[in-house]
A and B are shown apart, each in its own frame.
Chain A
Amino acid sequence: GAGVSQTPSNKVTEKGKYVELRCDPISGHTALYWYRQSLGQGPEFLIYFQGTGAADDSGLPNDRFFAVRPEGSVSTLKIQRTERGDSAVYLCASSSSGTGGSPLHFGNGTRLTVT
């Protein structure tokens, strides 16, 4: 498929565990974004990559959250010592460039449930 792919689609984990969420962007898209969406809310920005580097990580809530994009394509969002408040849908998006007019194309998200 040509869209943004996120795996897994659902993840259930116990409080305190470590999780990794994967995002495969649209081929050729240099910009990649992670958002978090809680029930009844709009997507909340977490981090933005331009190529391999994190251009803006101001949305990461604390140091338990970390993301990488080592080769400028696939990205992994890592959450340590998960808490019940981390439960949400984690959305990944990519765009052809990081300039203001380029629309973001979103994946279907990973629904994370921390029990």
Chain B
Amino acid sequence: AQKVTQAQTEISVVEKEDVTLDCVYETRDTTYYLFWYKQPPSGELVFLIRRNSFDEQNEISGRYSWNFQKSTSSFNFTITASQVVDSAVYFCALRRGSGSEKLVFGKGTKLTVNP
């Protein structure tokens, strides 16, 4: 069975602080995909990044970076120099590489960035 755990329910930081959102996953598949989505107060889920299980290179996109470690089954997300506009609920999700194509989501981490 596929499972995603986001242990941090809520995080509150002050603007310009760095913050890391944790994601731990469980799967028996050798091929799988990991995703991060952002859900701002408006409600729409916004795709941020996809990573496949064979690519453990970390990725940086502006102030966002992702650390994928298969050894610990983790796919953590760091926001550098956080801004108020980063306030949202962030979801980590897992998808099998074959078979059922559903995306399995974690419960999300609510990030509040205070000015």
A residues sitting closer than 8 Å to B (CB atoms) are 31, 33, 40-45, 48, 50, 55-56, 58-59, 89, 91, 93, 98-101, 103-109
Contacts and interface: CB of A to CB of B under 8 A. Distances in A.
B101 A55 contact: yes
B45 A106 contact: yes
A37 B42 CA distance: 14
B33 interface: yes
Given A43-B91, A100-B95, A48 B47 contact: no
Interface of B: 4, 31-33, 35, 37, 42-47, 50, 52, 91, 93, 95-98, 100-108
The DSSP consensus for interface residues of chain B is strand
Given A42-B106, A42-B108, A100-B32, A105 B101 contact: no
A33 B102 contact: yes
Given A48-B102, A56-B100, A100-B97, A43 B45 contact: yes
A100 B91 contact: no
A31 B101 contact: yes
Contacts of B95: 100
Contacts of B105: 42-44
Nearest to A3: B44
A104 B47 contact: yes
B23 to A, nearest CB: 11
A10 B42 CA distance: 14
A9 B33 CA distance: 30
A19 to B, nearest CB: 19
Given A42-B93, A43-B91, A108-B44, 19 more contacts: A31-B101, A33-B103, A42-B107, A43-B105, A45-B103, A59-B102, A89-B43, A98-B101, A100-B31, A100-B52, A100-B98, A101-B50, A103-B35, A104-B45, A104-B47, A106-B37, A106-B45, A107-B44, A109-B43
